Amino acid sequence: MTLARRIIPCLDVDAGRVVKGLEFAGLRDMGDPEELAARYNREGADELILLDIAASRDGRATFLETVRRVAQQLNIPFTAGGGIRRMEDGHAVLRAGADKVTVNTAAVERPELISELAAQFGSQAVVLSMDVKKTHAGWEVFIRGGAESSGRDAAAWAREGVARGAGEILLTSMDRDGTCSGFDCGLTATIAAQVSVPVIASGGAKTFEDFLAVFGEGQADAALAASIFHTAEHSIDALKKYLAGRGVPVRLSQ
């Protein structure tokens, strides 16, 4: 009996569609959120994360409608976020059917947001999302979709977030994100050793071996990926069978 390592597909959504950000060419359409959610639910995903990457004020209603529609498709846990600035934003996302809410930039700017959400909804419903990049100062937290340095040290911020009530950490390596060169196991293991809550590794997944490494050397509790699942390059079921064959505890579909 062991707590299974989780495989979590992530849907980045903009205006009701799943998209993939391309470095210089804007966004590529990856499909319909409901259809992808239903597919992942069927294929054995352990959880789903939905992120509003546009996160504009006027797109809020559209995003909540997407949350509502996706929730209908799932009988697995479901996290949503992107642009959560106030308590009411978090409440709206949970009311629309998400089980957990992620906070990022707004929590860095006003850390009390984490405490407020945790007090109201419980730590198990609050995921602190951190975008981290290696700089001359060490591992630094970036905000506004990675556009701006916050000047905060990643390990210190992770500890503070957990002390304030975050129940999980979604850790994205900006150095690896979109590079297909594997998860940053060094970063993941460093943060995992600093906090008492589960850490979800994100950024850089390409091969099955990348997942094996992040659960081993990286000490991750869960691993997130987007495009490799959307394009059906890898099926979640095949990935889990691979991991199970190498001694990683995973939940295989019955």
Partner 1 sequence: MRVSIIDYGAGNLPSVERALRSLGAETECVTKPEQIAAARALILPGVGHFSAFVTGLRERNLTAALRQALAGGAPILGICLGLQAMFASSAEAPGECGLDLIHENVQALPTNVKSPHIGWNQLRRLRKSILLRDVPDDAYFYFAHSYAAAAGEPHTAAACDHGFPFAAVLEHNNLMAVQFHPEKSGEAGSHVLRNFLEWVR
Give me the active site residues, please.
12, 131
82 vs 251: CA distance, rounded Å: 28
Q: What SS3 class is residue 144? A: coil
> What per-residue string of b and e applies to 152-187 under the rule 16 or more CB within 10 Å gives b?
bbbbebbebbbebbbbbbbbbbbbbbeeeebbbbeb
86 vs 132: CA distance, rounded Å: 23
Q: Which of 62, 120, 181, 235 binds partner 1 (CB under 8 A)?
A: 120
Minimum gap (Å) between residue 77 Cβ and partner 1:
5
Minimum gap (Å) between residue 194 Cβ and partner 1:
12
**Nearer Cβ to partner 1 (21/216):** 216
223 vs 170: CA distance, rounded Å: 9
**206: which DSSP letter?**
-
Minimum gap (Å) between residue 100 Cβ and partner 1:
8
Minimum gap (Å) between residue 38 Cβ and partner 1:
13
252 vs 254: CA distance, rounded Å: 6
Give the footprint of partner 1 on residues 174-233 (CB under 8 A): 196-198, 221-222
Interface with partner 1 includes 247 (CB under 8 A)? no
With contacts defined by CB under 8 A, name the span among 58-66, 121-129, 224-232, 239-247 that binds partner 1: 121-129
186 vs 6: CA distance, rounded Å: 19
Q: Which of 4, 38, 106, 248 binds partner 1 (CB under 8 A)?
A: 4
Pattern 12-51, partner 1, x by CB under 8 A: -----------------------------x----x-----
Take residue 20 and report the two structure tokens written for it: 């993939």
Interface with partner 1 includes 9 (CB under 8 A)? no
- The distance of Cα 210 from the centroid of its chain, to the nearest Å, equals 17
Question: Which one-letter amino acid corresponds to residue 197?
Answer: V
Q: Per DSSP, what are the bridge partners of residue 19?
A: 29
Interface with partner 1 includes 167 (CB under 8 A)? yes
Contact partners, residue 180, CB within 8 Å, separation at least 6: 204, 205, 206
Interface with partner 1 includes 245 (CB under 8 A)? no
Give the footprint of partner 1 on residues 60-119 (CB under 8 A): 71-72, 75-77, 94, 97, 99, 119
- Residues touching partner 1, count (CB under 8 A): 32
Question: What's the burial of 142, exposed, middle or buried (CB within 10 Å: 0-12/13-18/19+)?
Answer: buried
Q: Rule CB under 8 A: which residues touch partner 1?
A: 1-4, 6, 41, 46, 71-72, 75-77, 94, 97, 99, 119-125, 167-168, 196-198, 221-222, 251, 253-254
